[in-house]
Amino acid sequence: MAETEAELQAYLKEHNVESLLKDIVVKLCVDKPDDELDFIKNYMIQLQRERGTNVEDDEEEEEEADAGPISRGRSRRAAISASVMTEDDVEDYQRKVIRKDAPTMLRLQKAVSDNVLFQHLDSEELTEVLDAMFLIKKQAGTEIITQGDEGDNFYVVDAGQLEVWKKDDGADESKMVLELTTGGSFGELALIYNQPRAATVKAKTDVQLWALDQDTYRRILMGSTIRKRKMYETFLEKVQILADVDKYERLQVADALEPCTFADETNIVKQGDEGDDFFIIVEGTAVVTQSNDKGESGQVGELGAADYFGEIALLKDNKRHATVTAKGEVKCVKLDRETFERVLGPIEDILRRNMENYQKFTGSA
């Protein structure tokens, strides 16, 4: 069994399967195509072309004829992502730090806070991305990006005004569709797609921009995923309910974990509240308290590293059975309800058995 697992892991690494699947998931989240299977199929065909794999001409013509719009009016070719990045590419990456003062960092953080490509980054990842952004200055009248050109950078406006011009299919002239000022941003799809620009952006005044290139963004994102996986993989072996599951299932959990930190005396979960998250303590101590029907309250347990709580509310779809409070700063990782049901399905029976008989009260929340 161990030998078979090792062979599978070696195969997945050799063929960069993990990177490929992550690219597909990112594209699906961004484009939200109605026909996800057709979307993925078209991506695979493009990869074959890039790798020089023979694809019959008549098959390509048939695909072109059958393929409808991928999503939101994008052409089939426009929905193809950048080439897959390997683990070796990530290991060769040297962190880039372009010095910026605190107000500039705050402006950049605010500018990207609502962008889907940045919302999933934790604070460390976001800081690394913002550190890597480089300054560009352009004079009034200069085209920053041109419709139809290949995308390379994502831009945040630090000072000045820009105009967005777009030429629709069949139109003789472009028309201005938007103005951008300080805090505005454009070109984000260049971070994940090798696709032509959808519009032209011109400097209306002298402008100052902060830019991020595709290669840097993808190396930071992939590097963070690899580091997170390695860190959590070892830690999860210490979690009792995950000790006996196979490595692949543990890796699924590791990839889905979301870090969170709680200050001293913070109620992580509260008795009687609706429960939507499952927690595992990475570092620190938490106190478990319960109140009975008479209103009497008292401590019933204490949790430490590798202990977990919150599963009862998710398994039984009811409210929290206890309050768990941070005793000093507590670092946790968590899974939301949907992810919990998806990745912990193989051990649901163990969780249900443990609900009835704990020694550490970890399931009382």
How many percent of the chain have pLDDT more than 90? 29
| pTM assigned to the model | 0.50
| pLDDT, position 105 | 92
Is 337 part of any known ligand binding site?
Answer: no
Is 197 part of any known ligand binding site?
Answer: yes
Phi, psi of 301 (to 5 degrees): 180, 170
* pLDDT for 81 beyond 90: no
Q: Cα(74)–Cα(60) distance, rounded to whole angstroms?
A: 19
99-103, 225-229, 283-287, range with greatest mean pLDDT: 283-287
Closest CA to 191 of 216, 162, 228, 166: 216
| pLDDT, position 276 | 86
Q: Cα(85)–Cα(214) distance, rounded to whole angstroms?
A: 11
Q: Which residue has the higher pLDDT, 161 or 14?
A: 161
Closest CA to 231 of 324, 124, 149, 133: 124
Q: Which residue has the higher pLDDT, 209 or 316?
A: 209
Could you write out the three-class secondary structure of the chain? CHHHHHHHHHHHHHCCHHHHHHHHHHHHHHHCCCCHHHHHHHHHHHHHHHHCCCCCHHHHHHHHHHCCCCCCCCCCHHHCECCCCCHHHHHCCCCCCCCCCHHHHHHHHHHHCCCHHHHCCCHHHHHHHHHHCEEEEECCCCEEECCCCECCEEEEEEECCEEEEECCCCCCCCEEEEEECCCCEECHHHHCECCECCCEEEECCCEEEEEEEHHHHHHHHHHHHHHHHHHHHHHHCCCHHHCCCCHHHHHHHHHHCEEEEECCCCEEECCCCECCEEEEEEEEEEEEEEECCCCCEEEEEEECCCCEECHHHHHCCCECCCEEEEEEEEEEEEEEHHHHHHHCHHHHHHHHHHHHCCCCCCCCC
| pLDDT, position 60 | 43
What structural domains does the chain harbor?
A: 2-79 (no CATH), 91-218 (2.60.120.10), 237-356 (2.60.120.10)
| pLDDT, position 50 | 60
